Amino acid sequence: MEYTFILSSLLNPCSLISLILIVLIFVFRSSFRLNSSRKLQLPPGTLGLPFLGESLQIISAYKTENPEPFIDERVKRYGNVFTTHLFGKPTIFSTDPDVNRYILQNEGRLFESSYPSSITNLLGKHSLLIIKGNLHKKLHSLTMSFANSSIIRDHLLVDVNRLVKLNLNSWSDHVLLQDEAKKITFELTVKQLMSIDPGEYSEKLRKEYVLLIEGFFSVPIPFFFTTYGRAIKARRKVAESLLSVVRERRKENPSSGNGGGKKNKDMLEALLEEECGLSDEEIVDFMLALLVAGYETTSTIMTLVVKFLTETPLALAQLKEEHEKIAAEKGYSGSLQWSDYKSLPFTQCVINETLRVANIISGVFRKTTADVTIKGFTIPKGWTVFASFRAVHLHQDNYKESRSFNPWRWQDDLASMSSIGNGNSFTPFGGGPRLCPGYELSRVEICVFLHHFITHFSWVPAEEDKLIFFPTTRTVKRYPINIQRRNCQVE
Ligand code: HEM
């Protein structure tokens, strides 16, 4: 009887689809029952459709300018922490600042970062974003010490100023701001990593790198003609290119791996000096992680600061005043010094507000390494959790009129807050053992960019553009603007 049904299903497409659906529902239901049978109190919610879960709903929401209803509706129905099913996995979605903090702080104990293999293939298995345990601790603290305030002040700031000015001077009177900002952040990272100035090497590397980045946001089908397939190939080329620099440096400095204790000239030298003796492959994956982590994030904030300011003329006027004062003192031809950076309170408010509203990293995925009980719920071992920063940043309990861009809201808090964020309700750079090591550097880069841009150009949007949030936070048309130079060249 069953055979007859299956056979006729094969001949009849409608029945075949019904059969597949029945099997899917059965598998899906049994996996859900498995948890109930272990008497685990999951947060309320729905797993949505078999296999697809609620992925299509979240994707279609994040592809619009206003993705908030996806979260708002579920929070209203189920509360701040709810169960859903995203990108192939049952997921606990947290919009609760305390739960998010708990997830971030317990990285390596109850939770661990987890990426699909399609992403790991692009990042490399030794990437800082992926490695765990002691090696992660060591390399994370190495990165933090390389991008700390005194290193930025004494070493990196000179090049940030120089490369930002170089780029601004090369602009025509019509630019796609998002692309230009990406070029700036890429060149800055290459310089900070390997002391290589913009030129033939960095341009060639950038072309491959752009293909690699596209792979992160594509369907992971590894054929040579697909975006993902091209990204895999580009990854190989980028790795080879970085490897050649690593090998050259090893030749120049054969004593690498001895610790040393002296000040390193760049990140690569610090890696080569690392006492545990990193392999070439580990160093290449590490450099690639820094290129990936700082590129899209910082450049998008640079673009969106300009977009939000353009839409908020009062804020733009106040910011201009702050920067004009410093620029005028220098005759419009100096660099932004560390002391200047520290004396721009309204600029810090504008950067905070852009980070809060734009949410470049809308949250982080983690996997539980044990059953975790929190706020009366139990999340089973091996489940995915998503700590949503976006939901916290845009909730009215945490920010009054939370959905509007209002840089003045930060004015009273600024003195008491650090560059990382404040408390549990502002975490654009994450937290805990995986706190973004670039949190200060990115703020400095954005600030230097704003300083030279605002004091040397006026601009108008060339077309209407809109902000969307899937597959990443970006403006659809890459924010085209027409610019006019004021105060001559950026010297
Ligand atoms: C506006 C700019 C930036 C934002 C919003 C941002 C945000 C974040 C966030 C939220 C995380 C935590 C990820 C997690 O917990 O899984 C992170 C990690 C990281 N960021 Fe950033 N980031 C920015 C710029 C940078 C820059 C300029 C660098 C370069 C030094 C950088 C390097 C990294 C690295 C290497 C990690 C991984 C840390 C680890 O897993 O141990 N980021 N970033």
Q: Model confidence over 266-281: pLDDT tens digits?
A: 999 989 988 778 999 9
Evaluate whether 58 touches 388 at the Cβ level (below 8 Å).
no
Which pLDDT value is given to residue 451? Answer: 98
Per-residue pLDDT, averaged over 135-139, amounts to 94
Residue whose Cα lies nearest atom 16 of ligand 1: it is 364
Residues 443-471: tens digit of each pLDDT: 999 999 999 999 999 999 999 999 999 98
Q: Residue holding tokens 């996806």?
A: 70
**297 Cα: distance to centroid of ligand 1 (angstroms):** 8
**293 Cα: distance to centroid of ligand 1 (angstroms):** 5
In angstroms, rounded to a whole number, what is the distance separating the alpha carbons of residues 273 and 263? 10
Which pLDDT value is given to residue 416? Answer: 61
Report cis status (omega within 30 of 0) of the bond before 222.
Answer: no
In angstroms, rounded to a whole number, what is the distance separating the alpha carbons of residues 203 and 287? 17
- Whether residue 393 is predicted with pLDDT greater than 80 in this model: the reply is yes
The DSSP line for 124-157 is -TT-TTT--HHHHHHHHHHHHHHTSHHHIIIIIH
**442 Cα: distance to centroid of ligand 1 (angstroms):** 9
Which pLDDT value is given to residue 118? Answer: 87
What strand order describes the sheet that includes 81-86? 81-86, 89-94, 384-388, 363-368, 111-113
**120 Cα: distance to centroid of ligand 1 (angstroms):** 16
Q: Which amino acid, 237?
A: K
With residues binned 3-state (H G I as helix, E B as strand, rest as coil), the percentages for the chain, rounded to 5, are 55, 10, 35
In angstroms, rounded to a whole number, what is the distance separating the alpha carbons of residues 213 and 293? 11
- Return mean pLDDT, the chain: 89
- Whether residue 11 is predicted with pLDDT greater than 50 in this model: the reply is no
Per-residue pLDDT, averaged over 175-196, amounts to 97
Which pLDDT value is given to residue 114? Answer: 87
SS3 string of 16-48? Answer: HHHHHHHHHHHHHHHHHHHHHHCCCCCCCECCC
Per-residue pLDDT, averaged over 247-263, amounts to 69
Which pLDDT value is given to residue 117? Answer: 87
285 vs 277, more confident? 285
Q: List beta partners, residue 373.
A: 378
Using pLDDT thresholds of 50, 70 and 90, give the confidence band for residue 87. Answer: confident
Do you know the residue count of the chain?
491
Pairing of strands 467-468, 457-461: unpaired
Residue whose Cα lies nearest atom 35 of ligand 1: it is 290
- Whether residue 486 is predicted with pLDDT greater than 90 in this model: the reply is no
Give the C-alpha distances (Å, rounded to integers) separating 389 from 284, 386, 425. Answer: 30, 9, 8
> How far is C-alpha 378 from the chain's CA centre?
29
Ligand 1 atom index nearest CA of 192: 30
Q: How many CB atoms lie within 10 A of CB 7?
A: 10
Residues 92-130: tens digit of each pLDDT: 999 999 999 999 999 999 999 988 888 999 999 999 999
Question: 436: annotated binding-site residue?
Answer: yes
Give the C-alpha distances (Å, rounded to integers) separating 220 from 52, 121, 139. Answer: 16, 10, 29
Which pLDDT value is given to residue 252? Answer: 86
DSSP state of 415: G
* Residue (of 487, 389, 480, 469) closest to 430 by Cα position: 389
Mutation test residue for ligand 1: of 436, 443, 444, 450, the one with most atoms within 8 Å of CB: 436
* Residue (of 470, 395, 469) closest to 79 by Cα position: 395
Using pLDDT thresholds of 50, 70 and 90, give the confidence band for residue 413. Answer: confident
Using pLDDT thresholds of 50, 70 and 90, give the confidence band for residue 399. Answer: very high
* Residue (of 265, 242, 241) closest to 253 by Cα position: 265
Which pLDDT value is given to residue 16? Answer: 46
Which pLDDT value is given to residue 487? Answer: 66
The helix/strand/coil state of 350 is: helix
Q: What is the pTM of this model?
A: 0.90
330 vs 163, more confident? 163
- Whether residue 33 is predicted with pLDDT greater than 60 in this model: the reply is no
- Whether residue 421 is predicted with pLDDT greater than 80 in this model: the reply is no
On whether ipTM exceeds 0.95, the answer is yes
Percent of the chain with pLDDT over 90: 77
36 vs 247, more confident? 247
In angstroms, rounded to a whole number, what is the distance separating the alpha carbons of residues 139 and 134? 9
Evaluate whether 192 touches 163 at the Cβ level (below 8 Å).
no
Return the minimum-mean-pLDDT range out of 1-5, 204-208, 413-417: 1-5
Residue whose Cα lies nearest atom 9 of ligand 1: it is 429
Residues whose beta carbon lies within 6 Å of some atom of ligand 1: 113, 128-129, 140, 143, 147, 289-290, 293-294, 297-298, 301, 360-361, 364, 428-430, 434, 436-438, 441-442
**239 Cα: distance to centroid of ligand 1 (angstroms):** 21
Which pLDDT value is given to residue 277? Answer: 86
DSSP state of 410: G
Q: Is 259 left (phi over 0), alpha (psi -120 to 50) or beta?
A: left
Q: Residue holding tokens 């610090």?
A: 270
Residues 313-369: tens digit of each pLDDT: 999 999 999 999 999 999 888 899 999 999 999 999 999 999 999 999 999 999 999
Sign of CA dihedral 364, 141, 237, 445: positive
Return the minimum-mean-pLDDT range out of 46-60, 184-198, 268-282, 354-368: 268-282
**60 Cα: distance to centroid of ligand 1 (angstroms):** 26
